[in-house]
Structure 1
């Protein structure tokens, strides 16, 4: 065919190297410039196979291609190669090959790889002298080292990613109160992690770029005896579910070592109340940002539901949620858990925490709206349903509790109690000293569904004024208002108890 071809067969055809890449020793004291340049590619700042291929092309005055055994180019310039030779190299039948013809001299070298064989091809016009041969041989060795290192790193990354995904799945099961499934999954990988019936939830905050390192430190600090999850909703947050008492101190120590890192923690809750504990940790985190030690634990303040008659409250909650009782248990639990999170956070954040789409969250909440006959655009409705849901979660069996109970007062009766009234007057009374009449603005803003523009039109002021008034009420009331959640709903209940807002109409209460 007008060309001469030579192939080195197997191990016997290549001296000094079992896998076919010849080791060319460098004489003592001899450090050619090309060798130093090649070794520089192994430094942490280098390690790019494509750059090494380009370097080889320039150094050997050749065209260079790196491809897999199927002929797919990975780096360099595509070269016309003998497919049979490439196949022999890929299968391991031969370790290297060389031929010349049509004015070109070509060298092929098989490069071992943990999962897939690679072929390095070098084509040049001049014959391969000792210098060029040494450059090709050593370059093949360096590429093999890098590919092996990359494969090892990639495998480690895949393992870490799979483990992180598994931790997130366990957290998502806890968020929807499926503690049995969460324990079953955790037991196979981290025995004993969720054996306790209660835990505290912590949120550690840092810059998003530092979160991966922070998550790794949380795992090390807690000795992997806590569930550590990168928050799927907030890029700078790491969620830690810690059954052990020592976890709080361990995380405080970690936060103390890093600037611009903050810690919010919940009070101890049952595992079924992980979503509630998470909300508490987020609230505490807002306080931690303003503290010198950068940490805060959710303050167990007086909540309005604790001032109501327990039996009457349970009976009322059961009546409000009774339309959902006809659903299969799994469907009902799924809708209730999604609605709890959807009332605490935005649909996008709730979806990320649950591992579903935001459309799924909205569809589930719309189904609950339809079954309860309510409109969640009304903040007072959201507050009242939130009260019913959090009463229900405290019951061992929320569906059966109110079935045979004596008639209990409706929402108006629950809010009319003297203890609730006193709590509401004290809370809202904190705003009376503000000459801007912040209480009136806050009430109008709630009545407008939390919409500053609509509230501004009702009050005859600018929307920015409404926002400033609401924001200024937050430190006075010690509650977050601009973000939906428990803090806002308690303030809404206070307005309802004080008679500042019209009570919403619910079918069951």
Structure 2
């Protein structure tokens, strides 16, 4: 923050005397400019203390001269006496007083360079103090990041440092932490901006929003390849250079913490997938011991001792969010999220899972029949509708009459050309949606989230690869049976 003109005038060695504009001495002085030009304003930026001896200044031009300085936004005018003028011209004093421009008399004994040096030293001291404040704030933020619950501690500390509010969001825009006066209103205001930052093709960028009562900064955490989250801050005053430094420091600490969080969640997902594999292999005790090693795993493992469970197969999503919602166990499986829920608690969990996508639901099964329940849930998910229960699947009784091994072999052989076609694994899911919608292009395309012309292209490619006519009812029946065959577990 620049020193005020009042502080400059108060320096005793300069022996300055205020002749006009005493009520405007709180203006900041960002530089000292010496000029004898009749119009120095083309060489000024504003907030300068302009020094002159008035060598070219005529009394009749005083009002126009002052008007030009005021229009440029100078901090004040210093008039040196004892050279061209023995005293400050009264016309200049009158003009400055009328315009509210501080006018300072500089005695002959005070060189202009002394005033420039004094202001320069004050600016350097202010800058040093600002840097000290910034380093101190960085230290406090770093210590906060090292505490337990470091991300929340950084957000709390940041809100205090900027005397406002701070909020941290994950990559989906969900609030992880929000602290400070006005945080609720601030979070609501920036949600739309997060949507723009998350839009496809939108490069991560820092947003600055200013209003009459608040100034807001929104920053992504991560880089253009992967955004791990966002954070936002808001304060009533505009952010100073120190404030921007503090915000950037917090952003770096939060980005590091979010990256660690992402890695930790990925590790937890791998452990959960291993627990599910152990359960499928009948290794219940090993699965329990592995699950209990996770935070909160002891309570989560209670489902292993209860009665029948229901298996849910959900669209890809955040398994931890579903796990936090209601009792049960979740784990990634292939490209799905699998939930094992006590039968009595299944209803609310199904509703929670269906809010953001589709979910397939098995019949109640014992843990010893987990493989059957998993297969049923995956088959149900492959059908149409946001929620499908396996007992409601038409024709599921017919499939139970076929040997699972033979059926799996038939399906693998029939669908192999689609699964081996380069990286276009979407051909299988496109075929599944097309058959589930009885060949209705618009309905199937809407379900897949693609244009119907794209779906038509994919189906032509499917027909070419399989060498079959998709309009033939017998071919459709074979393909539907193949798609409904039990899915083998991950290798």
TM-score normalised to structure 1 length: 0.34
After TM superposition, the score normalised by the length of structure 2 is 0.36
Q: Which structure: larger Rg?
A: 2
